[in-house]
A and B are shown apart, each in its own frame.
Chain A
């Protein structure tokens, strides 16, 4: 790993450990958070959050319950407007953008509690994700001009292609809400991918999965990164998943970053152990 070279004029995050995987060194990072923070009343839910994620990096965000991990996701997706700091997505400032605009800029997410459109079919859920890539106008749709059929066919094919990542084509016409839990989680990932993101945020993707499902999910996350060439950032409590696939890990505690680094670095970090397990008794 080598130090990431910032383009001229961009701020170098402080306290910067801006380390990205070697292969991403010459690319604009997928995400840069600079002094990012939000206050609710007087409470600093996230304070001075700095992070750089390489173009094809799988990054992990971990921390004890209530550390502010989901708040970071909500800041990145503009569900909350940050009170401090800057978010650069592929080098572009996202300040002043709305939730749907920032999605179009290339950020997509899944949810800690599944939030599918449960009374719609699996395929329609994916097509909602494809919404901004279907180019026909409303009028063409109403009049059912040839372009409508062409685009609908493309959307159908694209939806099927995306569903095939998780072997879910056979469920295309099932109601999303009727799928088993694990499949719903996978569908959420497919739906997020359908929006054509450059950064995919996964909020506890392995929650409620058994070890074999988690292992499969791990493979799939890596596969998604390899096929789509995108960056993935995940919040996860399953340490086997985080330590196995995340190239960079960021540890939050009480809204502050307490450590950043590779899996080994994190595992041996005193502060992290303390945050999770409490202070060592002085001998």
Chain B
């Protein structure tokens, strides 16, 4: 039982990281109707910034997280403004390919800047875990990750449903042209979405590397793909969907690793995704909207 709970917590915390990343994917998709495949690499940049801040500049951990959030937010807005905005009128395929290009650009830029040798990321989360959790081998990072994910999720839900900017975002996601005619600056709204998504990616990067400390230019790629899968799994465009998808994906992965096979874990995760999409094409919480004819 202890072992099972340990796996479950592992799954939950990895799933929470996926969920935080998936929130970025899903928000950008919901509003800009594009898949930002460079999102995973923003995570990597976030982790590197935090790493440099603590190791080279000797800044305290919390400050390095703030710095990494700021850098990633600026990066996200820049990428959107320079790479995606000029293609707003172009087809979705052009934007998709640009996103893949940006992804490789970020990876190679990181390699140029920080080298290809993996860095050993020292976990930023170090505090004693309460004994009733410690008996299940729950690490401090897991705890912080899960709590951070829930907090982010609640704040985002509130933000999109209640705030003025959130309403503008939902309006843009439903009908950009109509939103514009109601006086909403669509470009600024999309920038804002990228800013939020990238800030979340920075937090995810720090948490991810605190959890598994190997940091290299391709660190963000696989979690990025998995989080994208999680977003689709939960229903892309839906914020609670990204959360549910991420957490479930993390748990399935952890259980598959524990009880079936470590090497098959990824295949099992994607097999589950395929089955879910066959049954519910719009994802778990996505709404299937038949086209009116």
Chain A: residues with CB nearer than 8 A to chain B?
Answer: 77, 79, 98-100, 103-104, 108-109, 111, 115-120, 124, 127-129, 131-132, 134, 136, 138, 141-142, 152, 155, 191-192, 194-195
**Within 8 Å CB of B179, what residues of A?**
117, 128
Q: Contacts A132-B183, A195-B182 known; A127 to B165 CB distance under 8 Å?
A: no
User: What are 24 A-B contacts defined by CB distance under 8 Å?
Assistant: A77-B181, A99-B180, A103-B181, A103-B182, A108-B181, A108-B182, A108-B183, A109-B181, A117-B170, A118-B174, A119-B170, A120-B167, A120-B170, A120-B171, A120-B174, A127-B167, A128-B168, A128-B179, A131-B168, A132-B183, A138-B192, A142-B163, A191-B182, A194-B182
Say yes or no for B74: interface residue by CB 8 A criterion: no
**Within 8 Å CB of A129, what residues of B?**
182-183
**Within 8 Å CB of A155, what residues of B?**
164
**Within 8 Å CB of B175, what residues of A?**
115, 117
Closest Cβ of chain B to A147, distance in Å, is 12
A116 to B184, alpha carbons, bound, how many Å? 14
Number of chain B residues close to chain A: CB under 8 A: 23
Say yes or no for B66: interface residue by CB 8 A criterion: no
Given contacts A108-B183, A117-B179, 4 further A-B contacts (CB under 8 A): A79-B177, A98-B180, A103-B181, A120-B171
Closest Cβ of chain A to B86, distance in Å, is 16
- Residue of A at shortest CB range from B176? A99
Determine whether the beta carbon of B165 is less than 8 Å from that of A128.
Answer: no
CB-based A-B contact count at 8 angstroms: 81
**Within 8 Å CB of B184, what residues of A?**
100, 128, 131-132
A120 to B184, alpha carbons, bound, how many Å? 16
Closest Cβ of chain B to A143, distance in Å, is 11
B164 interface neighbour in A119, A136, A194, Cβ under 8 Å? A136
A131 interface neighbour in B159, B164, B174, B192, Cβ under 8 Å? B164
Say yes or no for B185: interface residue by CB 8 A criterion: yes
Chain B interface helix/strand/loop/mixed: helix
Say yes or no for B272: interface residue by CB 8 A criterion: no
Q: Contacts A138-B165, A142-B159, A142-B163 known; A131 to B182 CB distance under 8 Å?
A: yes
Say yes or no for B63: interface residue by CB 8 A criterion: no
Q: Contacts A103-B182, A138-B163, A195-B183 known; A128 to B171 CB distance under 8 Å?
A: yes
Determine whether the beta carbon of A117 is less than 8 Å from that of B183.
Answer: no
**Within 8 Å CB of B165, what residues of A?**
138, 141
Closest Cβ of chain A to B168, distance in Å, is 6
**Within 8 Å CB of B185, what residues of A?**
98, 100
Say yes or no for B247: interface residue by CB 8 A criterion: no
Say yes or no for B147: interface residue by CB 8 A criterion: no
- Residue of B at shortest CB range from A141? B163
Closest Cβ of chain B to A186, distance in Å, is 16
**Within 8 Å CB of A111, what residues of B?**
178
Say yes or no for B284: interface residue by CB 8 A criterion: no
A117 interface neighbour in B171, B186, B192, Cβ under 8 Å? B171
Interface positions of B from 177 to 212, Cβ below 8 Å from A: 177-186, 192
- Residue of B at shortest CB range from A133? B183
- Residue of B at shortest CB range from A152? B162
Determine whether the beta carbon of A100 is less than 8 Å from that of B180.
Answer: yes
**Within 8 Å CB of A120, what residues of B?**
167, 170-171, 174
Closest Cβ of chain A to B178, distance in Å, is 4
A116 to B174, alpha carbons, bound, how many Å? 9
Determine whether the beta carbon of A134 is less than 8 Å from that of B164.
Answer: yes
**Within 8 Å CB of A131, what residues of B?**
164, 167-168, 182-184
**Within 8 Å CB of A124, what residues of B?**
167, 170
**Within 8 Å CB of B183, what residues of A?**
100, 103-104, 108, 129, 131-132, 195
Closest Cβ of chain A to B10, distance in Å, is 32
A119 to B155, alpha carbons, bound, how many Å? 21
Q: Pick the 5 closest A-B CB pairs, nearest first.
A: A103-B183, A99-B180, A115-B178, A141-B163, A117-B174
**Within 8 Å CB of B192, what residues of A?**
138
Q: Contacts A115-B175, A142-B159 known; A100 to B167 CB distance under 8 Å?
A: no
Determine whether the beta carbon of B182 is less than 8 Å from that of A128.
Answer: yes
* 1/0 contact string of B144-163 vs chain A (CB within 8 Å): 00000000000100010011
* 1/0 contact string of B89-102 vs chain A (CB within 8 Å): 00000000000000
A152 to B165, alpha carbons, bound, how many Å? 12
Closest Cβ of chain B to A150, distance in Å, is 13
A136 to B185, alpha carbons, bound, how many Å? 16
